[in-house]
Amino acid sequence: MENKKFVVLCTVSLTFLLSIATVSAFVEELDDTFKDTRMPDEIWLIQFYAPWCTYCKQLDPVWYEIGAELKSMGSPVNVGKVDATAHTNFAKEFRVGGYPAIKLLKDDLKYNYRGPRTKDGIMEFADRVSGPVVRALPSQQLFQNVMSRHDVLFVYVGGPSDLKEKYISVAKELIVHTYFFSAARNILPKAVTLQEYPAVAVFKDGTYFLYDEQHDGDLASWINSERFLNYLQIDSYTLYEMGDTSKLVALAIVDERNPTEESIRYKTMVERVATEYKDLYSKEFQFGHMDGNEYINGLIMEELAMPSIIVLNVSNDGYFLPPNKVETKEQLVKFIDGVSKGRIKSQGGNGYYQCFIRIAFNTKTTVTNIFTNAPLLGAFLVVVFCGGGSALCYGLCMAWRSMRNTESMRDTEDEEPITGERVEQKQLKGPGEDKKTETKAKNPAEKKAD
């Protein structure tokens, strides 16, 4: 019986090891020779990691799954990883600033992935960026199919034109964020009315908007500001991307793990304002809700009660808080209007003082969480910190003392001797004076000996 268990255990272990080896085979370990050996038409999805990075180790199994799945799909994307601490020139070329960093290399362009470190998110990024910059929609059926799969859809409508060239140029830059499509005029739904042709349209929130150069300005800026739904669930990654839109973000901060009637009411209230006042505020505000207050607490440096309303200026870490508790849609509109027209002043920011205070607050929060969730670990870290601090102070004191002793010795060498002997200054002597001086210098014992 024990032999059978042993055989089963060995079989399971061997199968597990073989599966790991098989999956790992689709991820290539890269080094500084990559630039010389890569073919010009190859597309690479690369993870830059550090051996000591915990997040990199957590990403490893996901990364191997991505490599295996892309290979099984017949994707042109090659998957690799590189130790950025060992191959620093490679990392510098790709401007790696943190770990893990995920980059896609296509032709001579390098695309940076800034989304969540999940398999679905990274796979979608690789599929989007590795494919055509602008994808054609040749039929109404395909158009409807794409519409059902994408919350936000940018479409160029028309033939060759200067606007199309601008559209393609912007797509090359912003394809890291969203898909870009093109279609003929007869492919669009009948409800779409084009006043000008060619045109660029965005389909979202159950309707569509047309780009107007005179009203909307630069095409890239317009696409960047319209690539989110008017109302959506927002996390820290989404907020980071919203920093490029120049919009303020109006949020309902709620606890999704412990939903209450009040939190549902707050979410509904923000969504209604986003929908009913779309024409008034959509150009300036992005609306949504966020689960949990951890990120917001670190930003405002205090505990924000849930549910709450807050408006963020993601571009400079500023924020706006309502002067009074918001209970109704009308009160929320009044608050949003006050922010828009400058009646409510911004708080926070990214100045040196604010950054210093924010670091201190985050440090305090981290230490508190450690002592709350793992008191033994907290005690150990305190001992290590105190021991390290004491050793550092002792080393500094000894170095200072050694320096003072050295200076004292140097000062002593420059002073007169303190043995009671007197050093006479040498004087110029005439002929025969040396002998007289020697005779006078003899002591009584020497005279007797003479």
Which of 10, 56, 386, 393 is flagged as catalytic? 56
The strand pair at 101-106 and 43-49 is best described as: antiparallel
Query: C-alpha distances in angstroms, 407 versus 115, 401, 402, 404?
Result: 58, 10, 9, 5
User: How far is 154 from 167, CA to CA, in rounded Å?
Assistant: 10
User: Quick one: CA dihedral 281, 219, 134, 137, positive or negative?
Assistant: positive
Q: What angle do CA 242, 248, 251 make, to 5 degrees?
A: 90
| Residue in the structure block whose two tokens are 């911004």 | 346
Which of 53, 386, 393, 397 is flagged as catalytic? 53
Check if the beta carbon of residue 94 is closer than 8 Å to that of residue 50: no
Judged by DSSP in three states, 279 sits in: helix
Query: For this structure, is 386 an active site residue?
Result: no
Which of 262, 265, 281, 406 shows the shortest CA–CA distance to 340?
Answer: 281
Q: 354: Cβ–Cβ under 8 A, 6 or more apart, which residues?
A: 317, 348
The strand pair at 318-320 and 27-29 is best described as: unpaired
Query: For this structure, is 10 an active site residue?
Result: no
Helix extents (H) in 154-277: 162-174, 213-216, 219-226, 236-242, 261-276
Residue 286 CA, chain-centre distance (Å), reads 21
Both tokens assigned to 45? 């999805």
Q: Which residues are catalytic?
A: 53, 56
